[in-house]
A and B are shown apart, each in its own frame.
Chain A
Amino acid sequence: MAKIRIIPRLDIKGPNLVKGIHLEGLRVVGKPEIFARHYYEQGADELFFIDVVASLYERNSLDDIISNTAKEIFIPLTVGGGLRTLDDIRKVLRAGADKVSINTAALKNPNFISEAALKFGSSTIVVAIEAIKQPNGKYFAYTDNAREFTGVEVFEWAQKVVELGAGEICITSVDNEGTGIGFDTELIQGVSNLVNVPVIAHGGAGKKEDVLNLVNSVDVNAVAIASMFHYDYLNNGYNHDHIACEEGNLEFLSKKRKVNAFSVSSITDLKEYLKINNISIREINN
């Protein structure tokens, strides 16, 4: 089997790393560059940055963070959030991103996927799908960090984005995101069954067992994780003086509140755990 990629996901608002629940209620966690370096040292297989308010305010504030990161962190960097034009993509690639993630712009204009894939190659284009389960059991895709309903059914959309040239899909369960209750395996398997491109599962990892359960039961290539790693680093080693905040809710940080649903884990611990359970992962022997 191919190795499961473990991808820390860094949600960025302005100069800060933030974290929410269901992609909302964002709280400042710390300085993204310091988290990125920590995750690199710990054996992250890739980093996934999203400017979580870019679509809302139509701005791209990630470029500086990415170009600083790319100078000394030599693993793939995927960057998304508010990328609407080929020029926006070119700019983040020039800043040092290897792949871009698009969601809102793709749903507004699906041909944007083809144009981007043609211009930059399919393997550069990740389509992010933010899924919310409806009362009738169907999953629908949302945009703008799950604020806007699109009426597009997730499984149909997943097939379509691959036809249009997406090289990878990141599927987020908005219902589970930030909660630590585990992955939505039905959603992720549903998407994975329908496409032949790599699938990144995101939303819900609360403990190591959730990741093991996912990779044992669903055909996925990668797992994106935020809270579990962020809270681990906050509790173990992060220097809390490093806050680059000019904005945001800092109360969470100052109180060092514990989040009960999460049994925190470092990347090293998680990989060790997966390895002893016979899951193929990339080991680093520095």
Chain B
Amino acid sequence: MKQVAIIDYNLGNLFSVKNACSFLGMNVIVTSDPQDVVKAEAIILPGVGAFNEGMCNLDRLGLSEVIKSKVKNGTPLFGICLGLQMLFTDSYEFGHHKGLGLIEGSIAKFPNHNEGLKLSVPFIGWNTLSFPNTDLKSRSPLSEFNSSDSFYFVHSYYASPQNNSLILSNTTYNGFKYCSSIHDGNNIFATQFHPEKSGKLGISIYKKWAIENKLI
């Protein structure tokens, strides 16, 4: 069975991602070893934590270049939360930092207020998705969802792709609208929310992604 590498760069809880994959019968390995990533036929880049620490760890472990070259050669990549953010070119979390640069765009912090409403930061909780591009949606692991389905988010920063056509979904938090998932129409798919913590709907995202990429 095709092996999926869950990238362990020493940040955050990877066990829930592994549990979700194992629950669906995927063949996964949680690894920090670039050789495992080279051999893998799909990559999951999870993560909770600080952008700069995440990127430093990826660089130090020799993972950044491997991930970039695999993805450029068409290996399916599923990014989650910080794993979505690190795909971007730039972040402004505690200063300016460079990301993996697979997606043009940047990461910035939520404002504390928007249109008179208080935004608790980090945002921790459930929220819905809107889909600006129905064609992209129909070709994505989110194809079955509608605007009342909720997913679990934990984050203080959000991503802004330069190219709007990569935005798979938007989410509005107390009036503040931001990009909550991306899909390049090809092998890169990433969510700001945590599908592995979003109940049965969330698990169905892993399942669709796995089926599309013939991982189960």
Contact = CB atoms under 8 A, between A and B. Distances in A.
- Chains A and B are bound partners: yes
B35 interface: no
Rank and list the top 10 A-B pairs by shortest CB-CB distance, nearest first.
A282-B150, A282-B126, A123-B122, A123-B154, A3-B126, A121-B49, A198-B120, A198-B124, A76-B197, A96-B15
A74 interface: yes
* Most central of B123, B124, B150, B201 by chain A CB within 10 Å: B124
A284 B198 CA distance: 10
A123 B124 contact: yes
A74 B118 contact: no
B61 interface: no
A133 to B, nearest CB: 25
A76 B23 CA distance: 16
Nearest to A121: B49
- Say which size band chain B's interface belongs to: 35 or more
Interface in B192-216: 194, 196-203
Interface string B122-156: 11111100000000000000000000111010111
B120 A197 contact: yes
B66 interface: no
B199 A221 contact: no
A1 B152 contact: no
Main secondary structure of the interface of B (DSSP, over half): mixed
B15 A2 contact: no
B70 to A, nearest CB: 27
Contacts of A221: 120, 124-125
Contacts, number: 105
A206 B112 CA distance: 34
A74 B15 contact: no
Interface of A: 1-3, 5, 40, 43, 45, 70-72, 74-76, 93-98, 120-124, 167-168, 196-198, 219, 221-222, 282-286
Contacts of B112: 196
Given A76-B197, A96-B19, A3 B124 contact: no
B13 interface: yes
Nearest to B22: A71
B136 to A, nearest CB: 23
A98 B126 contact: no
Contact of A93 (B13, B155, B200): B13
Contacts of B150: 3, 282-284
Given A124-B48, A283-B148, A74 B20 contact: yes
B120 A75 contact: no
A196 B113 CA distance: 10
Interface in B53-79: none
Contact of A123 (B23, B48, B174): B48
A109 B28 CA distance: 40
Nearest to A43: B199
B25 interface: no
